[in-house]
Amino acid sequence: MSLALQLDGYRLTTADILYHWPDHPDLLQNFIWQQLDIAPEFPELTRFLTYWEENLDGPLHSVTVASKALVEPAEFRWATCELKLH
């Protein structure tokens, strides 16, 4: 994963995609997709799902999306005391 993309606001995005089997429409199959993407627009995921609907036979049932920033500002706390040793 590119650090430059993460610094530009890209986040690790995971999509749990349920779709119907083309030959057995009553059966559902699970597909996990993971990519760096920008929340909340998710252009990469939208591009992938558009490709899926236009080129693949299995119609989508549902998509569950989770997103997490991997590079975040450092967490800091103020010191409550200072000790000095000789």
pLDDT at 79 over 80: no
Q: What is the pLDDT of residue 75?
A: 63
Q: What is the pLDDT of residue 73?
A: 67
pLDDT at 1 over 60: no
Q: Which residues contact 57 (CB under 8 A, 6 or more apart)?
A: 22
**Is residue 14 within 8 Å of 64, Cβ to Cβ?**
no
Three-state SS for 57? coil
Q: What is the pLDDT of residue 3?
A: 79
Identify the domain containing residue 52 by its residue range.
3-68
Largest CA distance in the chain: 79
23-65: per-residue pLDDT in tens? 999 999 999 999 999 999 999 999 999 999 999 999 999 999 9
CA distance 58 to 21: 5
Number of domains comprising the chain: 1
Assigned domain for 38 exists? yes
Assigned domain for 81 exists? no
Cα 52 versus chain centre, distance: 17
Query: Which comes out higher in pLDDT, residue 43 or 84?
Result: 43
